Structure 1
Amino acid sequence: MTDTTESQAADQSRRSIDREAQKRSHAEVRALLDELIEAFPACFKPHGAKNQPPLAIGVEAEVAVQIL
């Protein structure tokens, strides 16, 4: 292989790994969101739901207490 070909192969491999990491990250976020929707249905609605209320100030502390 030439240096250019090796470089292109390495770049393609990195992009493939990045896409896989993105997919895993998205799945983890989706799983957390599903947990939040189940635990706090008044605060979190499925994506695209109508009339989703805004979160309250300081809600992260309340969520952390409930999850942990």
Structure 2
Amino acid sequence: MKVQSPLARRPMRRACTDRCGMLPDCRFLSDLTALSRRGVRRRNAIAARAFIAVHCVGAASLLP
């Protein structure tokens, strides 16, 4: 059995039915994928470093 990350996208036809062929609750079928807590923390840390570099150090030219 293959294990798939919750952030990976599946084809819509397969996502609409579970293994029994029944439609799951529509609340969980969204085009927007939920970010994991680790991903949110990583994004916030990068944004904080960029803010400090631009506003405190003045190193905006060093940002990618």
In the superposition, the TM-score normalised over structure 2's length comes to 0.37
Higher helix residue share: 1
Between the two structures, name the one with larger relative contact order (CA 8 Å, sep ≥ 6).
2
